[in-house]
Structure 1
Amino acid sequence: MRVLMVGLGDIARKAYLPVLAALPDLELHLATRDAGVLDAVAARYRIANAHVGLDAALASGAFDAAFVHAATPAHPGLVTTLLERDIPVFVDKPLADSADEAARLVTLAQNRDVLLGVGFNRRFAPDYAALRQTPRSLILMQKHRHAQADTPRRVVFDDFIHVVDTLRFLAPARPMRETIETVVRDGRLEAVTLTLAGDGYHAIGTMHRASGLDEERIDILGGNGKRAVVNLAERIEQDGTEHVRRRGDWTPVAEQRGFSAMCADFLAAVRDRRPTAADDIMATHRLCEAIVQHAERR
């Protein structure tokens, strides 16, 4: 497969390049407007196909798929260009920083019958995925940041969206009620809590942006047991006694955090010509938009 990666920011270098550059059946191309970054990354991963900008990359020939890892404000323009070339596109979350713009891109993908995927790595992290096999009457997810209050739209669409999507992923049935609470100080979102309630369960996600530490934890209760995952690296099981399991020393971070499986799934979806999961993508982005609207009214 001839695959293009557009944007070489932090997440591309830390999470995606180590996975994609190691796949033997990929002819990987890189594209970014920063020539210095392009040269450095291409040299580090020994990638011969490097292009200054998207236009230069597209002029080099057809692509089977593209990964977009540019800054969020650049997503709509890049994704539109690629979809209009009928290139299947994977975008690291979010698709866009508004539900309306996300809907436009999803509709474009559907109208052109081109696959559009959005990257939520926690769906593929093995310890999180395993939680779907356990009884779940109460789901509690916390994802906190140290001294990082910011505008509601940036906080929600660039970070809290992980909590929103993970709650939806782990919910055992479709939510029937949604509750949103936000704390905003001087126009900056400091804290947010989302509750999804359905038949026999509650799923609660919270984030505090003025906490003492960057941390993430999820607790699942039900069936006389409790399961927890801490910072995507430690699993705790309690059923009268406590069992703690930590990520093995030789387990790659990309595997533990779900990036390896997520990339493999998207490439398989391209080969299999799967359709865009439009309803699933939009459900997460619409919830995020509702949270932003709540915060902006505070």
Structure 2
Amino acid sequence: MNTTERDTLAVGIIGLGDIAQKAYLPVLTALPGLDVRLMTRDASKLDRIGAAYRIAHRYTDLEALVNSGLQAAFVHASTDQHVPIVARLLQAGVHVYVDKPLDYTLEGSRHLVELAEKSGLSLFVGFNRRYAPAYVEARQRPRDLVVFQKHRRGCAENVRTAIFDDFVHVVDTLRFFAPGEVEHVDVRARVHEGRLEHVVLTLSGAGFTALGVQNRVSGSTEEVLEVSGADAKRQVLQIADVVDHDRHPTMHRRGEWVPVSRQRGLEQACQIFLDAVRSGTILSARDALRTHELCEHIVEAIARSR
């Protein structure tokens, strides 16, 4: 076996829905040193996507994929399938990158984190905003006050699903930006006929407040991050354009040729995971679990308030 073959990673992509097709396949198939293998139960989709990317290794069965000599996997299956799929991969000695959330329940999420730790394997949760360049730069600025708005149009839905599938990004981003230990948590929400319409989360500690707002019936899809402190303010619009406020606002638009995957931190997250697999570094999902714990707290707080 030559050096190139020895350094090649056998990487599975499990689940070929929108997120895999739009975000991950373009990134992973462009990276060198990967032997990409696809898995979905939809045979026609499998063949179509496999042919488009010239990927020969295609599986409709998880066990067959695992037994092919898999070293790492990206799990993009539906959330309700995360626990059985990720658990099987970890049991087989495969390092795992999984879309958020780990599970709709805290019990399921905790089980996967503990299983990865027991197995000595990486479990990486795809909170890509932690790696988006505009957010990484904003985090280096004074941030006594953080306001993060992530709105939706026509998306009122079941509370647990809305919080864990979508608002989880708001929760994790606020935790990422909090400049100190969170000492107080406050939750306010509107639920109409069992469907979450809006939610407001406040995290605060010594000298800072972080406010997360989501209106799921706002009329538009919008994401705005604002950090301020020390008489300075920066806004990030749609994870891309930056506005600095110093008497007069100054707009800095993203480069025209910057790929969306890099702008949103997906490319960087994939590279961090793959570099860890290659180097033997174990990535823990313990901090990601804290975000899931806070999401569970939010769900319970909304239930108590109704």
TM-score bracket for this pair, using the shorter chain length: over 0.9
For the residue of structure 2 that corresponds to 1:133, the secondary structure is coil
Residue 78 of structure 1 is matched in structure 2 by: 85
Equivalent position to 1:95, from 91, 102, 108: 102
Q: Distance in 1 between matches of 2:154 and 2:302?
A: 18
Is the counterpart of residue 27 in structure 1 residue 45 in structure 2? no
Report deviation, 1:213.
0.2
Gaps in structure 2 of 5+ consecutive residues: 1-8
Q: 2:205 aligns with which of 195, 198, 208?
A: 198
SS of 2:261's equivalent in the other structure is helix
User: In structure 2, what is the Cα distance between the partners aligned to 1:53 and 1:129?
Assistant: 39
What is the TM-score with the length of structure 2 in the denominator? 0.95
Q: Is 1:13 paired with 2:17? A: no
Aligned-partner SS, 1:175: coil
CA shift digits 1:8-27 (9 cap, x unpaired): 01100000011000012100
1:39-118 equivalent positions in 2, closer than 5 A: 39-59=47-67, 61-118=68-125
How far the C-alpha of 1:271 sits from its partner, in A, is 2.1
1:38 to 31, 43, 46: 46
* Match in the other structure for 2:129: 122
Letter in 2 for 1:138: L
Shift of residue 86 of structure 1?
1.1
CA positional deviation for 1:272: 2.8
1:158 is aligned to 2:169: no
- Aligned mate of 1:273, from 280, 287, 298: 280
CA distance in 1, matches of 2:181, 2:286: 13
Residue aligning to 1:282: 289
Separation in structure 2 between the aligned mates of residue 142 and residue 126 of structure 1, nearest angstrom: 18
Residues in 1 aligned to 2:24 and 2:146: alpha-carbon distance in whole angstroms? 29
Contact 1:86–1:112 under 8 Å retained in 2: yes
Match for residue 146 of structure 1 among 136, 142, 153: 153
- The total of aligned residue pairs comes to 297
Q: Is the 8 A contact 2:117 2:284 kept in 1?
A: no
Q: Which 5+ residue runs of structure 1 have no aligned equivalent?
A: none
Contact 2:66 2:92 in 1 (8 A): no
Alignment partner of 1:236 is 2:243: yes
Tell me the SS of whatever aligns to 2:108: helix
Map Cα deviations across residues 160-214 of structure 1 (whole Å, 9 max, x no partner): 0000000001111121111111111111111111111011110000101111101
Structure 1 counterpart of 2:23, which letter? Answer: A
Deviations 1:250-290 (A, max 9, x none): 11110101111010001112123333434311110000111
The one-letter code sitting in structure 1 at the alignment partner of 2:36 is: L
Partner of residue 246, structure 1: 253
Identity rate of aligned residues, in percent? 46
Match for 1:182 among 180, 189, 212? 189
Q: RMSD in angstroms over aligned alpha carbons?
A: 1.0
Contact 1:110–1:276 (CA under 8 A) maintained in structure 2: no
- Does structure 2 retain, via aligned residues, the 8 Å contact 1:115–1:273? no
Residue aligned with 1:195, SS: strand
**Candidates 129, 135, 139, aligned match of 2:142:** 135
The answer to whether the 8 Å contact 1:109/1:276 transfers is: no
The alpha carbon displacement at 1:64 in A equals: 1.6
Residues 128, 266 of structure 2: 8 Å contact kept:
yes
Q: Secondary structure at the match of 1:96?
A: coil
Partner Cα separation in structure 1 for residue 84 and residue 238 of structure 2: 33
- The runs of 4+ residues in structure 1 deviating greater than 3 Å are none
Q: Aligned partners of 1:183 and 1:235: how far apart in 2?
A: 31
What CA distance in whole angstroms lies between the structure 1 residues aligned with 2:271 and 2:161? 29
Aligned: 1:257 with 2:264: yes
Separation of aligned partners in 2, 1:106 and 1:87: 14
**Partner-residue secondary structure (3-state), 1:180:** strand
> Given that residues 164 and 295 in structure 2 are in contact (C-alpha distance below 8 angstroms), is that contact kept between their aligned partners in structure 1?
yes
